[in-house]
Amino acid sequence: MKMRAGYSIFLLILSLTVCNAGKLSNTFYKNTCPQVEKIVREIIQIHTRNNPSLGAQLIRMQFHDCFVRGCDASVLLDTVSNSKAEKEAIPNQSLGGFDVIDDIKAAIERVCPKVVSCADILALAARDAISSPFKKSMWSVQLGRRDGRVSLATEISGNLPSPFANFTSLVQLFKGKGLNVNDLVVLSGAHTLGDSRCGAFSRRLYNFTSKGDADPSLDPTYAKILRKKCPNPASPAITVEMDPGSSLSFDNHYYDILLQRKGLFVSDAALLTDKNSNKIVTRLQRSRSLFFTAFAKSMKKMAAIGVLTGNAGEIRQNCRAVNPGKN
């Protein structure tokens, strides 16, 4: 009887261990690498002083990682042999900040070797780069992701939101990632940061319906300004702020320009074509604190897309390459 009771307790503990092994947690590295968040934060603070656009770079990198194969740091892997990695695909060729992730990984490996995943580092780094000007964390990051071993440029198409996408396409794509319309509108608010190459929106300026016309949903005065900045054909060397005058500030100003019909992409303007989505845009435009709260919630959902946990994947020693002996 005692043996059965003891065995039952053992099974209960084992069951709880297995369940917890598959979950993300705010205290995942409490015993194995308690310094991890401090290390990431300090390195990010150093880099943001020299690169104020780092927040835009890393939050975009995290989006692009999570929407393809889940949040497994596959976007960080370099190409091997003839199989091009995700970062070689055209939408990812303008990503930046890989060197920062390398610096953080090297620093953590010196203190906690083979413990902290590159996927977790990316999630923390993106949060801290956005948070740096505020001197506080803008959202909490749950940890415990493991790194993927596969990265294919061919998987980018159909998984990343296109700047040319209409509302229906965007909703379907986000739904496939476990995100809803509210998440779509809220996460689009990240377009308040950074800039874009002219090619991502030049069709709206010069040939929207293949008749040499402009997109009627784009403010005509703003379209004229954009045409001066982006001659036709589009040059990959020219970039434009996605949120004019606010591209280095994380705030809700994106929704101001959206309601002024100055959203840069077709996918931005698409958010105004649906009644429910339009209402969400208006609410977020009215309150910066509401946007910050909503963004924190949606980031938590986005950062958990398709995560590898437990014994899945690996903990890469170098974020650019799978561990030796792994396929």
DSSP assignment letter at 131: H
User: How is residue 80 annotated by DSSP?
Assistant: B
Q: What is the DSSP secondary-structure string of 109-146?
A: HHHSTTTS-HHHHHHHHHHHHHHGGGTS-SS---B--B
Annotated binding-site residue numbers: 65, 68, 70, 72, 74, 86, 161, 191-192, 243, 251
Residues flagged as binding site for heme b:
191
Numbered residues of the known binding site for Ca(2+): 65, 68, 70, 72, 74, 86, 192, 243, 251
DSSP helix/strand/coil, 141: coil
Q: How far apart are CA 295 and CA 252, in angstroms?
A: 10
Let me know: does 298 contact 179? Beta carbons within 8 Å.
yes
Annotated binding site for substrate: 161
CB-count burial class (<10 Å; 0-12, 13-18, 19+) for 56: buried
Q: Which of 47, 60, 64, 204 is catalytic?
A: 64
Counting beta carbons within 10 angstroms of the beta carbon of residue 98, is it exposed (0 to 12), middle (13 to 18) or buried (19 or more)? Answer: middle
For this structure, is 64 an active site residue?
yes
Of 52, 44, 87, 82, nearest in space to 68 by CA: 87
Catalytic residues: 64
